[in-house]
């Protein structure tokens, strides 16, 4: 069974601070996705990283895929209250039409 260890599970920071969320596995994934979920809604895809060592930026969010495609990180610069939410990493196994392997999620609270 492939597992994704996501940390930290909870994070409460002040507006303007930086933070990093980690997602680690002993398994190799063909790609890794990051989602953000608001209460009472489904997850919304933020980014997909495919190539080992890949770095993608989405405004103040920076996503990195490890060289071995076993780990990933999400870094938020100058966090804002609007960044508050549940962040989920999800591993994509080989091929299509297979379920995602989700990490336990990181609940981020940014205090103004």
Partner 1 sequence: GAVVSQHPSRVICKSGTSVKIECRSLDFQATTMFWYRQFPKQSLMLMATSNEGSKATYEQGVEKDKFLINHASLTLSTLTVTSAHPEDSSFYICSAPQGTGVRQYFGPGTRLTVT
Q: Rule CB under 8 A: which residues touch partner 1?
A: 6, 30-31, 35, 40-45, 48, 88, 92, 95-100, 102-105, 107
CA–CA dist 100, 80 (Å, integer): 29
- CB-wise, 82 or 95, nearer to partner 1? 95
In DSSP terms, 34 is beta-bridged to 47, 89
Instruction: Decide whether 40 or 82 has the Cβ nearer to partner 1.
Output: 40
| Shortest distance in whole angstroms from residue 90 CB to partner 1 | 8
For 81, residues 6+ apart whose C-beta sits below 8 A from its C-beta are: 15, 110, 111, 112
């Amino acid at each position: 069974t492939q597992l994704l260890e996501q940390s930290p599970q909870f994070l409460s920071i002040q507006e303007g601070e930086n933070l990093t969320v980690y997602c680690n596995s002993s398994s190799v994934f063909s790609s890794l996705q990051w989602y953000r979920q608001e209460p009472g809604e489904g997850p919304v895809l933020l980014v997909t990283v495919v190539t080992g060592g890949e770095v993608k930026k989405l405004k103040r969010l920076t996503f990195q895929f490890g060289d071995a495609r076993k780990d990933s990180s999400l870094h938020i610069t100058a966090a804002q209250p609007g960044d508050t939410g549940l962040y989920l990493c999800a591993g994509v196994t080989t091929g299509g039409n297979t379920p995602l392997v989700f990490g336990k999620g990181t609940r981020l609270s940014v205090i103004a």
